[in-house]
Every structure is written in C-alpha cells, then in structure tokens.
Chains A and B, each alone.
Chain A
Amino acid sequence: MSLTQIEFQAEGTGDAPAQAIQGRSPWMLAWRRLRQDKVAIASGALILVLALLAILAPVISSLVGHSPDTPYTNTGLNSQGLPVGPSGTFLFGTDGLGRDLFVRVLYGAQISLLVGFVSTLIGTAAGVVMGMTAGYFGGVIDTVLARFIDSVLAFPYVVLALALAVVFGPSLSVTIGVISFFSWAAIARVVRGQTLSIKEKEYVEAARSIGSGPWRIMFIDILPNLIAPVLVLATLAVPTAIVFEATLSYLGVGIQPPTSSWGNLLSQAQTFYQTSWWYLVFPAGFLLLTTLAFNLLGDGVRDAMDPRTERLFASQRKGRRSAAKRARPTPPATEVS
C-alpha cells in the first residue's frame, strides 16, 4: 500500500473493532446488576408472597373456617382458659381470647403492608418536594426549612408520635399520618443535599441562562437525578414505617384491638408468653421476616445503583501479586501478548 494515503482515512477503517462497551443506560445496568443479586431477588419474592397472603387474608380466613375477631372459647381455649398451641385446627395456636392467631397474623400483614407503603409514598412525595424547594431556592427558605427538617429529625419522635396519636385518638389514618410526618424529614434532608450539589452543575446553569423558570428546572433537570437515591431511600423507608407502626401499636397508641396488627398482638403476648410461646413467636417472626426482606431488597437496590469497588483496601495489605489473585472475582481473561 502506498504511503501517499491521504489523511481522510482517519474516518475510521471499515471494520472498527467490536464495541467493548455498548451504550447502556445506567438504569439498564442497574437492573442487570439487580437481577443477578440472588438475595435481593429472593427478598422480592418473599415480599410478593406476603403481599399475596395479606390480600387473600379474607379468602384464607374462610378456607380455614375461622374469622379473625371471633373468640373460639370452646376450641380455642384450654380448661384453664389459656390459649391453645399450634395444631391442625389452629395453625398458629390461639390468642388470649381464643381467636385464631394464624388468621389474625395474616390480617396483621394487611395493616403492616398498607401502612408501610402508604406512609412511605406520602412521606417520599412530601420529602422530595420540600427537599428540592429548600435546596434549590436557598437563602431564607432553605434556612427555615433546613432547621425545620433538623428539628423534626432530632426530636424524640416516639414522644411526639405518642402525643399526636393520643391527641387525635389512635386509629389507622392517624398512624399513617404520624409515620408519614416523620419519614418525610429523612428524605427531605437527603434530597436537599443532593439538590444543593446538582444545582451547581453546569447543565442547571445552562437551563437558567436560557430562561427556564425555577419549577421547570426543578422538575426537568434536577428531579431525574434524584430518582436513584430517592428510590433507595424509599425502599428502605418501608420497613422503618412497618416497624414504627408495630411499635406504636405495641405501645397502645397505634392500631387498636380488635383489629389485629403485629404490634398489638405482641403487646398482648407480653402477658402470655410465659405459657404460650406461639403468641410471641409467630407475630414476631412475621414482623422480622418482613423487615428483613425489605432491608435486603433495599440494600440490593442500593448496590445495583452504586456498586463500590471495595477491593482497594483488602489487597493492599497483603502484597500485590498474591492479593491480586485473591481479589480476582473472575478467572483470568486474556493473557497478555
């Protein structure tokens, strides 16, 4: 080939090498990572099963033949008037009044999941709006809102929650309201921080300079970048909300009996657990499993969105070559020519 080839060959040779890294959007990458996380998938499956059970609680109740609020004093209590243990009739045993614990636990799942999701939804929405507003507008608005957020977060929330619940009378909607009130603050703080840093980025400056109004900028430029951290926070906020509801119900200021909530079941269990272990174990077990599943899922979502290279420190301590072998997650690829 002659050397007088002209520079225009620089357009690239016909067969450019295969693209090693295709242009995948970060969302697809995150999804791919999540799919490979077995633990997260298992947790997600568990949550789905639980949700199903909760939705089908009335169906299951009629299948078993026991309703959640009926005390079965004949079959459900023994000769001393104490609850009976797990058996063919009562899968999880009975509670202090002879009610079917299995059915009550399932109905309790309804409450937990409902409160968990709804309060997280409300809290997230409110938190995002407040956080963005504080972060974007800055100045006095920010100072006031930030201080408010800090106070809400720092306040011994149990006391305040108690007070609100007592003042307005404990009920489902009050519980949801109280929990939403506390979850928005944590989200708002993070959103505010993120907004503050995103606001300084060039593309926001660019948007401002072409005359976009603040609301437009917030919702079109800033919000999309918030979705990832907010999603992680929200997923992790659900179990917090569930636990919060259980705690309030346990203390007597949340869901009131006869409606069953895992929390009030456990509160009753405190008087009975010396003789009736099932009363404690089953509601506690469900509560734990549910929170565990959500936390694992939340961790999985977070890792999928932002994987860390953690090898950095480990291998450094032990010398390079040997550590490299240990640190290598994949078998050696191409050997160098």
Chain B
Amino acid sequence: MSLLEVRDLRVSFPTADGVVRAVRGVSFSVDAGRTIGIVGESGSGKTVLTQTLLGLTPGGEVSGSAVFDGTDLIGLPEEQLRRIRGAQIAVIFQDPLTSLHPLYRVGWQIAEMVRAHDKSVSKAAAAERAVELLARVGIPQPRQRARDYPHQFSGGMRQRAMIAMALSLEPKMIIADEPTTALDATVQAQILDLLLRLQQDSGTALIMITHDLGVVADIADDVMVMYAGRAAEMAAKRDIFYQPHHPYTKGLLESIPNSSAGAGRLRPITGQPPSLINVPPGCAFHPRCAYVMDKCLTDEPGLIPVAQDAYHRSACWLPVTAAGLSEQAEEARRRTVGEGRHEAAAKIAEAIAESPEAEGSVIA
C-alpha cells in the first residue's frame, strides 16, 4: 500500500486570457522510504502538481484524488489539510533566500515550525530543538547561527536550514521543489548528499522535483518525466537512463552537456513547450517530435507499458522497441548517461564520505 497514491489529478487556472490547464491528468504513487524524481521543463506542471497536494495553489480548479496515508487530500477541508502540512508532509522550496522570512531569525522560524502543531512545547524546548536540527544538517556553530537572519547565511547554508525546518516534525514525506537549482554545482552535490543521507536515516518518502537529470541520477529510485501537464514517461531510474522510450525523454538525455567526451554538438530539443491554454491536439509533444506519426496529431496517448515490468510506461504511440534513433543520437545518449553528470556527482560524494573533518563542514 503506497504512502501516496495520486489518481488522474487535474488542475486548471482561469485567467484573463483563457483557462490554463496546468496539470492534465497525472497519476503516480510513492512508497514509504522511496524517492521519486519528477523531471520536466518550466511549465510542465511539476510544481503545480505537488503544491496542489497541500492546497498551496489558490484559485485552481482541482479534480482527481491524492490519497495520502488513507486520506484523500483533494477536497479536504482547510483545517485538516493544515494539520497535515509540515507534520506529515513537509516542503523544501527552490530559493531559500526568498522562502525564508527575511525579518525573523532562522532559529525562531524553525522553532515556530516545531510549535506549530503542538503548542504544549515550550519556547525554550523548541529553540533547543531548532539548534539540534541545524547541527543535524551540518551547520557549524548552530547555536550562534540560530540567532542569525537568513540574509546572513550563504546559499548552501540557507538551504540546509530549510531542510532542517522541513525535518523538524519528522514528516512521512518531503516534497523537495528544485532544492538545488539556486545553488552552485559543488554546493548542489553536498545538499543532495545530505538529503539522501537524512532520508535514509529517517525513512522519509521523498518527491524530488527538478529539471536536471543529473540530480535525478543521484537520488531517485523512480522517475516520472512530465511534459505539458502530463506524465510523458514513468520508470525506475535505471530504465529511464538506459532504456528511455518517449522521444522527449530521449531528447532530454541528448541535450545534457557531456563533460567527459567533449566531442559533438549539443542537441537541444527544437521548438518551445506548448501554451497550456491551447494545448496542441493529440499528443502535446507532437510539434517537436522527431518521430511524429499521423496518429499523434489526433489521439493523445495514455501511459502504455513498454517493458515486461509493467512499471515502465510511456505516453507515446511508438512501438515498444525503441527503434529509429539515429546512430549519432544513440551514441550521444550512451556517453552522456554512462560518463557524465552521474560520475562527477558520485566523485564528490565519495570525497566527502572519505574525509571525517569534511563531514558537516560547509563549503559554500
């Protein structure tokens, strides 16, 4: 029984220019202790999807169901939803500078979270817990740092503080919305490593939203690729990288700059993501697809299993055998996945794990 089971979730927003259909029927599930990576470009609906789960998208028309631990979050009265927020499901946002309140001390903000659902916790106890949490995420001199304001922290430390805040009530699930996008590469790897470690320690389920496949490669168990408000492909991590089926997924893989090989040009996906007010008929990706067929223009494909293991599904009319990729593309894809980001991130994680003093230090 999955911890979170989302069925046919749809979210639209009425605007002056028309109805924006941000999420057009997404289903997925997350098991306790597992990590699912949700990958997509801006506008793919990945953020709206997760924020809708917690009722953080005002003004949206929502349908479908999202059963978390036995309760359907969609349509849940505000008061009950509020009790789930933070305590059962916590969120880590993308930009910790704007996501932390600029006028309150960091320790205070974390302590507030601790007391949010249980007023019987004393202020002193909450403050103490805040310091503990800051230490747990690897911030040095946590007691002094708790008295600082967010603008006095460096980018990496701020994100660690946000992570500390998310962990404070030991939620069953954490939604991490592009937590590393605003950080530089070295810090990014540290944060991901931290998240992984903490998740493994506490058995929390993790939904990791990102546009960066490298991040997914490090941290996810399962992957859902989103495009134009729907799932394009869903699979276990390995399958996404080694047996991608959907042309969009393949396109994403091919457009990753390859750090080791250095040869060949980047192959970005031509065209632009579609407007979510006027979604193209049939398959939303068809205007940009290299393999488009007549059927793609009229019939929108659902998620179709592409392998023996029914978990790997792709919303594409192409037959299961992913024939047709040019040799060049195949090569490029293999190289990227086999040697690129994945490897670099692994190297840093290794280095940190090896030096005991480095543990918990902040190289921002």
Contact = CB atoms under 8 A, between A and B. Distances in A.
So, do A and B actually touch in the complex, CB under 8 Å?
A: yes
Interface string B288-317: 111111100100100000000000000000
28 contacts: A3-B291, A3-B324, A5-B292, A5-B324, A7-B326, A9-B289, A10-B288, A10-B289, A10-B290, A13-B286, A13-B297, A20-B18, A20-B277, A21-B17, A307-B16, A315-B59, A319-B77, A320-B60, A320-B75, A321-B75, A324-B61, A328-B14, A333-B14, A334-B21, A336-B12, A336-B24, A336-B25, A336-B63
Contacts of B323: 3
B19 A334 contact: yes
A332 interface: yes
Nearest to B291: A5
- Chain A to chain B: the 8 pairs with minimum beta-carbon distance, closest first: A20-B278, A333-B19, A316-B58, A20-B275, A7-B290, A17-B280, A311-B59, A315-B58
Interface residues of A, number: 42
A311 B58 contact: yes
B278 A16 contact: no
Interface residues of B, number: 47
Contacts of B324: 3-5
Interface string A298-337: 0000000001010111111111110111011110111011
A318 B78 CA distance: 7
B55 A3 contact: no
A12 interface: yes
Nearest to B75: A321
A314 B275 CA distance: 26
B319 interface: yes
Nearest to B270: A10
A206 interface: no
Nearest to A8: B290
Nearest to B300: A337
B264 interface: no
Contacts of B290: 5-10
B327 to A, nearest CB: 12
A330 B13 CA distance: 11
B43 interface: no
Nearest to A21: B275
Interface in A214-231: none
Contact of A18 (B25, B278, B318): B278
A12 B287 contact: yes
Given A20-B18, A312-B58, 6 more contacts: A3-B291, A21-B277, A327-B14, A330-B19, A336-B24, A337-B300
Given A7-B290, A13-B292, A17-B287, A336 B58 contact: no
A324 B280 CA distance: 25
B62 interface: yes
A11 interface: yes
B274 interface: yes
A337 B318 CA distance: 22
Interface string B37-52: 0000000000000000
B140 interface: no
A5 B292 CA distance: 8
A63 interface: no
B333 interface: no
A1 interface: yes
Contact of B281 (A17, A321, A332): A17
Contacts of B19: 330, 332-334
A17 B277 CA distance: 12
B356 interface: no
A13 to B, nearest CB: 6
